[in-house]
Amino acid sequence: MDKKITPHAIWFLIAITAFALGKKIESKNNLKTDKLELIKQEQQTKPLAIAEKNNGIRSQNRKLPTLENISTTSAPANQLINNYLNSSNPIEKNLLFAQMLIGLNADNASGIYESLKENLDGRERSRKMELFFQAWGRADGESAIKMALSNNPDRNRGRGGQGSNMYAYSALSAWASVDPESAMKTISNLEDDRQKSFLTYGLINGLAKSDARAATDYVLKMEANREPEEQPTGVLRRGDVTQRYISQIASEQLKKGVSTAIEWAEALPDGELKSSAFDQVTESYIRSDIDAAKKWVSSNAGKEYAQRAVSEVASHLSRENPQDAVDWVSSLPTNAQGQAYEEVMENWTRNDPEAASNHLIAMKPSETRDSAVSSFATSLDREDPKSAATWAATIDNEETRINTLKTVAQSWMRTDADAAKAWLPNSGLPQETQTAILETPTRGRPTGDFRSRRPRQR
């Protein structure tokens, strides 16, 4: 009996296994079928969704002018200005204004100007009018300048203060980029010196954008034609108008890359304009690559025109790490160290006077030490005039010592006149200098370079 049961049991297990396996295969097939159905449905519905989305975008785009439409517009001037003035969509309004400027020409410019003048006000008027005069300057510079100079100058003086005219500036800048000879002639015929000085910025701005060599030659010629008494020296040099012009060209050259600006600056003739150019390029170079700037300035440090650039680097380094600044300055040629040390000591004294004084104690007598001590004393005179005076008295060079003691004395008179008067007889200052200090104490701190508390001695 046991022998009969065994085969039946085996066949029963085989049947059960086959049934279970079949069910599993069927389940997998059903799952695959469901997935295929879902994919098929997505493929059928996705194009519809995309089409609806694209239709919505196209519908929105039809509401705004396109760049292609702007560049090929042939609408009359009155339609251009009306489209712009009647639009309430800020994006559309800007596009329409660009369309109007692109369609601007010598025939329709004055009419558009009159309409803008009547319908624009406030901040929108100022911004849009400057752009409008740039476009007009390119299309018809002579008419644009004439209108800008003759039409109510009090309303459009802009950033330059009295005598300036930002609309004329914008027009002249654009005109100079397309017709420099005519723009230069217009400038030369201006009789108002203040106005002429301001609008020359516009001329140089346009020239520098299109032809840096022409802009540079113009400024160099202007400098060469000045009378000797018109050429500033000493502390006034940085604010001189021709140096501001050359700095403007430097700024445009820097937009093309530091290497381009360096090549341009190095090609300038030695002198004050080259000094201004080096200064401007160095300021930008420091921000982008301080190590490369140090190397470039060091290679020129022995030249007079590089002294302001040296001071720029020294000032930057001293704010970060005074000791690193001292190490760098010490590596420069001797004739380049004096002014650089002044920059370092000024910042160091302001942040850590004790460390600065310890460094001075370790310095050997030299012109560099005299410059450093002078800077230290004039930076300390407000907080501790007695110590400042003591340090100033240790300067070896007589002229530097007297000038520094005088500056300290003037500062001391403003903070504690009684103490200053008691010190003066033993100060070592000449009697006439003492008398001048007592009779006419300076109000405020002596003026000089706008970045420094003391007058610069270059």
Per-residue tens of pLDDT for the chain, all 458 residues: 444 445 554 554 555 554 554 555 455 455 445 545 544 555 554 444 444 444 544 444 445 444 445 444 556 767 878 888 888 898 999 999 998 899 899 999 999 999 998 888 877 788 899 999 999 999 999 999 999 988 654 444 444 443 348 999 999 999 999 999 999 999 999 988 888 989 999 999 999 999 999 999 999 999 998 765 555 444 334 458 899 999 999 999 999 999 999 999 999 999 999 999 999 999 999 999 999 999 999 999 999 999 999 999 999 999 999 999 999 999 999 889 988 988 999 999 988 999 999 999 999 999 889 999 999 999 999 889 999 999 999 999 999 999 999 999 999 999 999 999 999 999 999 999 999 999 875 544 443 333 333 333 33
DSSP, collapsed to helix, strand or coil, labels residue 104 as coil
For residue 226, being part of any structural domain is answered with: no
Q: Summarize pLDDT for 100-123 with one digit per residue, the tens.
A: 899 899 999 999 999 998 888 877
For residue 38, being part of any structural domain is answered with: no
For residue 239, what pLDDT is reported? 58
For residue 267, what pLDDT is reported? 97
Q: Are 429 and 421 in contact (CB under 8 A)?
A: no
Name the token pair of 448: 């000089």
For residue 65, being part of any structural domain is answered with: no
Contacts of range 129-134, beta carbons closer than 8 Å, 24 or more positions apart: 129/156, 129/167, 130/158, 130/166, 130/167, 130/170, 131/97, 131/101, 131/170, 132/101, 132/104, 133/167, 133/168, 133/170, 133/171, 133/174, 134/170, 134/171, 134/173, 134/174
For residue 308, being part of any structural domain is answered with: no
* Cα–Cα distance, 401 to 21 (Å, whole number): 107
Exposure class string for 246-261: b at 16+ Cβ within 10 A, else e: bbbbbbbbbeeebeeb
- Our CA dihedral for 237, 243, 248, 249, rounded to 10 degrees, sits at -140
Q: Describe the crossing of helices 258-267 and 241-255 by its angle, rounded to 10 degrees.
A: 140
| Full residue range of the structural domain in which residue 426 is found | 339-438
For residue 232, being part of any structural domain is answered with: no
Q: Are 248 and 208 in contact (CB under 8 A)?
A: yes
In the chain, the number of structural domains is 2
For residue 312, being part of any structural domain is answered with: no
Give which of 152, 153, 133 is closest to 143, Cα–Cα: 133
pTM of the model: 0.70
For residue 235, what pLDDT is reported? 37
For residue 48, what pLDDT is reported? 42
Name the token pair of 380: 């300390």
For residue 8, what pLDDT is reported? 52
Name the token pair of 373: 């001590």
Give which of 386, 451, 394, 373 is closest to 415, Cα–Cα: 386
* Cα–Cα distance, 453 to 451 (Å, whole number): 7
- Our CA dihedral for 374, 378, 384, 388, rounded to 10 degrees, sits at 20
Cβ neighbours of residue 80 under 8 Å, at least 6 residues apart? 73, 96, 99, 100, 103, 112
